[in-house]
Structure 1
Amino acid sequence: MYEQNEITIEEGSSNVYADLGCVHAGEMQRKSQLAGEIGRAIKGRRLTQEDADALLGIDQSKVSCITRGRFRGISEAKLLELVARLGHDVRIVIGPVRRRPGKIELKFV
C-alpha cells in the first residue's frame, strides 16, 4: 500500500535566490541573468568555448563555468564587460534620488 503524502506548493517571488534566503540575492540574480545572456550569445554566434575564450579574453575553463551557472568569484562588472565583448550594448542609467533605497535591475531588449 502506498501512503499518500500531501504536497504543498508555494508560489515564489521573481528571485529564486531570495526565496532560498541568500544574503546577496539581488546580486546573484543579476549575475545569473548576465551568465545566461553570455551563454545565449556564445550559442547564437556558434562559438566554440575556445573561440569564446579568445574573444572574451578569459580562459576556457572560466567560459565553461560561466555558461554552466557557476559564476561565484566573478564580479558583475566583469560579466557586463563580457556581455559587451559579445556584441551587446550595455547602458547604465542612474535615476533620480528617491526617499527609499534605490534598486539595481537589468533590462534586456
Structure 2
Amino acid sequence: MKKRIVDGVEFEIGSGNVFADLGLPDAEKLKIKSGLVFEIDEAIRRLGLTQEQAARRMGIPQPKVSGLMRGDFANFSERKLMDCLTRLGYDIEITVKRAEAETGHLVLAVG
C-alpha cells in the first residue's frame, strides 16, 4: 500500500477493499456481500418498512433482517442477498465478459 504524509501524520492509502486491507480471507466475496447488504438497508429505509414488513417481503425471518441491519451477513449467500433485493424492487444484472488480464475479478456496480 502507498503511504502518504499529511500535516506530519503518516497514513496508508487503502486498496478500496477494507476486508483485503485487514487481511481477511475471501475479502472480495465480503466486499460484494457488504455492498448488497448496504443496498438492502437503503431499500428498507427508502420504502419505510419495519423489520417485520421487510422480513415478509424478503421471505426471511425478522431476526435475520435485524442481523442484516447490524451487518451480520455471514450466513447469507450472495444469491440470497440478491433475491432479497429483487423482492425489494431492485433489478439485478450479471454481466460476464472475458478479462483483459489472466485472472478476472468481481465488481459490484450500484446505480
Q: Do Structure 1 and Structure 2 share a fold, with TM-score over 0.5?
A: yes
Paired residue type of 2:26: H
Query: 1:64 matched to which residue of 2?
Result: 66
How far, CA to CA, are the matches of 1:10 and 1:99 in structure 2? 26
15, 18, 22: which one pairs with 2:17?
Answer: 15
Q: Which one has the bigger strand percentage? A: 2
User: Alignment RMSD, CA only?
Assistant: 1.5
Deviates more, 1:40-49 or 1:8-17: 8-17
Larger radius of gyration: 1
Alignment of 1:55-94 (within 5 A): 55-94=57-96
How far, CA to CA, are the matches of 2:78 and 2:105 in structure 1? 15
How far, CA to CA, are the matches of 1:101 and 1:30 in structure 2? 18
Residues matched between the structures, number: 104
Query: 2:110 matched to which residue of 1?
Result: 108
- Give aligned-pair identity as a percent: 40
Query: 2:33 matched to which residue of 1?
Result: 31
Gaps of 5+ in 1: 1-5
| Shift in Å, 1:104 | 1.1
How far, CA to CA, are the matches of 1:60 and 1:69 in structure 2? 14
